[in-house]
């Protein structure tokens, strides 16, 4: 069993990896932050991520990680769509951006088909010259 040295994701210090992704100090700090965020949400079940951060001083990164881990079962926490910033409560994109994404994929498919048809449609000339002149008879 060897010891794995890593840089802490939060403070950058080298530490012995324990599978936490960060050093002991930062991990304990984040646990406290998570507790704060969790109790804030218990009191304010319909908060947005920004309200939680402003209300508790907890980093947005920590709150987002808790949302993705399903830590806030009590309420619908709103957080911004990754594409347009509209407030959503599940997934990564709002309905509109999901639709746009689907449309874009469809359009790209159609464009590819159109390109393939265009490339094979080039015409070939056949240069047949009428070389059937009258044969001289002796
Ligand atoms: Zn650290
Ligand atoms: Zn969106």
How many structural domains does the chain have? 1
Q: Give me ligand 1 centre to Cα 7, in Å.
A: 8
What value does the mean pLDDT take over residues 49-67?
A: 91
Is residue 134 assigned to a domain? no
Residue 64: closest CA among 43, 100, 88, 84: 88
Asked if the structure places residue 53 within a domain, the reply is yes
Q: How many angstroms separate the alpha carbon of residue 109 from the centre of ligand 1?
A: 46
**Domain that residue 104 falls in:** 30-111
Q: Which two tokens stand for residue 131?
A: 């070389």
Residue range 31-50, pLDDT digits in tens? 999 999 999 998 988 888 89
Q: Quick one: which ligand is closest to 16's CA?
A: 1
pLDDT in tens, 68-83: 888 876 557 888 899 9
Report the share of the chain in percent with pLDDT over 70. Answer: 81
**Is there a domain that residue 15 lies in?**
no
């Amino acid at each position: 069993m060897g010891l794995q040295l890593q840089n802490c994701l939060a403070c950058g210090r080298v530490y012995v990896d324990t599978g936490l992704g960060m050093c002991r100090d930062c991990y304990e700090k984040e646990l406290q932050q998570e507790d704060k965020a969790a109790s804030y949400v218990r009191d304010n079940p319909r908060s947005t991520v920004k309200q939680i951060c402003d209300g508790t001083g907890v980093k947005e990164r920590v709150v987002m990680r808790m949302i993705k881990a399903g830590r806030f079962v009590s309420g619908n926490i709103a957080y911004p769509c990754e594409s347009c910033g509209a407030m959503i409560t599940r997934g990564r994109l709002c309905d509109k951006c999901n639709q746009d994404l689907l449309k874009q994929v469809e359009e790209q498919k159609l464009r590819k088909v159109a390109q393939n048809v265009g490339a094979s449609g080039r015409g070939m000339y056949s240069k047949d010259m009428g070389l059937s002149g009258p044969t001289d008879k002796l």
